Amino acid sequence: MNCYRFETLISDYLGNNISHSMKSEMEKHLGECPNCRAKLEDMKQILHSLHKLPKLQTSANFNEKLMEKIEHHKSKKKFIFKQFVYKYSQPLSTAAAVIILLFGVYYIYNSIFPNMPNQKISTSEIQNNILNPTQLSQPANNSINNLQKKPQYVKAENDDSSETNIDQRNNFENKIKMVNKEK
Amino acid sequence: MINNNKKYSDEELIFQFQKGNEHAYLELVNRYKDRLLNFIFGYVHSKESAEDIVQDTFLKLYTSADMYREIAKFSTWIFTIAANLAKTELRKRKRRKIFSITDMGFDDKDYEIPSESNVPENSINSKYQMKYILKAIYKLDEPFKTALILRDIQELSYEEVSNIVDISIGTVKSRINRGRLKLQKILKNENK
């Protein structure tokens, strides 16, 4: 064993964390090397001093100061919340006023014009009714009459047919005219 | 209310505190305040600064107790918080240039030495006086210093040091050995 190897293992030797064979090898080296022997003794003294270092103690009012810090932290948090509310109170109240106003307008509009729902007729329903006029139900008839007056095509919710385009609309109008002529 | 604190482990106390029991928090403070003070003192070498950092550590414990999970020992967790705060303080000092390596000078006025009134006789009569040892520790590079303080002054196990510093046990052992050799070298030069 050389001195460098001894140095790398010195802590393990002192902590007794090495194998028996390694320990014997190191002790053999210690017997031959006065430098390493001195180094080992020196290290023992240093470790002893480190373990015996006087321990500091916190000041007597440590806990009180800590509690003050905690209280300060809590009040700071409350202050931050208050500051937030103060800072954003104007925009928040404006936004709330706008939302209330919009709801109010919507409510008033609905109460003034209660019978203005969009008439939703599926294109498939119209097609069926046009092709079988004898089976026309009253609402469907009304729908056709309405269409004659003022064509209005609104895509129904359950309508799985493709979007109604202008050509389709013209076709329907022609078919409606033909049905009327047959009548 | 914690009547007989000794029967509760640190982990049980932190869980009690998580449930809102502030007596458990106070018990943890009492258990760790001196240990943490000595640990932080190794970094900042001023009792006042060290005490401030310990207070911040406990404030963090108070505000972030919910972050603690059973996967780690409480001691590991609290030492990690304290070590991080101490490192942050050192970085701040460096930035503000409160002191620098060139300004340090290693005079006693820069370096607060604990009162020797309660120092055991054998340590005063030791070859290496306490203040030289503390100064030598201060001169060590941060990784060696942390490992040495935790192991040789705080007397934590290799495993605990490994968890706090977040390195393998093998690396901890190597750092401690190298740290001790460096400390020995510094002390030898100081004593010349």
Tell me if A52 and B123 make a contact (CB, 8 A cut-off): yes
pLDDT score recorded for residue A152: 52
CATH of the domain at B167: 1.10.10.10
Closest partner residue to B152 (CB to CB) among A17, A47, A62 is A47
pLDDT at A146 over 90: no
Residues of A in contact with B54 (CB under 8 A): 58, 62
Classify residue B78: in a domain, yes or no. Answer: yes
Is residue B6 within 8 Å of B30, Cβ to Cβ? no
Q: Are residues B131 and B104 in the same domain?
A: no
> For residue B151, what is the DSSP state?
I
pLDDT score recorded for residue B176: 93
pLDDT at B98 over 70: no
- If you average pLDDT over residues A104-126, what whole number do you get? 73
Residues of A in contact with B29 (CB under 8 A): 63, 66
pLDDT score recorded for residue B101: 43
Handedness of CA B124, B127, B132, B137 (dihedral sign): negative
**How far is the C-alpha of A50 from the C-alpha of B149, rounded, in Å?**
9
Burial class, B105, CB count within 10 angstroms (exposed 0-12 / middle 13-18 / buried 19+): exposed
Q: Give the residue, A167 or B75, on which the prediction is more confident.
A: B75
How big is the A-B interface in CB pairs under 8 Å?
101
pLDDT score recorded for residue B72: 75
Q: How far is A120 from chain B (nearest CA, A)?
A: 56
pLDDT score recorded for residue A111: 84
Classify residue B2: in a domain, yes or no. Answer: no
Residues of B in contact with A62 (CB under 8 A): 33, 51, 54-55
Domain count, chain B: 2
The parent domain of residue B42 ranges over 9-112
Answer with the one of B62, B89, B112 that is the final residue of a domain: B112
Q: Are residues B122 and B139 in the same domain?
A: yes
pLDDT score recorded for residue B6: 59
Classify residue B35: in a domain, yes or no. Answer: yes
pLDDT score recorded for residue B104: 44
Q: Are residues B153 and B123 in the same domain?
A: yes
A43 interfacial to chain B (CB closer than 8 Å):
yes
Classify residue B177: in a domain, yes or no. Answer: yes
CATH of the domain at B59: 1.10.1740.10
pLDDT score recorded for residue A100: 94
Answer with the one of B80, B112, B144 that is the final residue of a domain: B112
Rg (CA), chain A: 47
pLDDT score recorded for residue A34: 92
A117 alpha carbon, distance to own chain's centre? 38
Q: Are residues B57 and B119 in the same domain?
A: no
Residues of A in contact with B157 (CB under 8 A): none
Q: Are residues B123 and B144 in the same domain?
A: yes
Q: How far is B37 from chain A (nearest CA, A)?
A: 7
Q: How confident is the model at residue B175 (pLDDT cuts 50, 70, 90)?
A: very high
Classify residue B134: in a domain, yes or no. Answer: yes
Classify residue B3: in a domain, yes or no. Answer: no
Per-residue pLDDT tens digits for B116-162: 444 444 444 456 777 788 888 888 888 898 899 889 888 888 888 89
Q: Are residues B79 and B154 in the same domain?
A: no
Answer with the one of B112, B133, B162 that is the final residue of a domain: B112
The dihedrals phi and psi of A151, each to the nearest 5 degrees, come to -55, 125
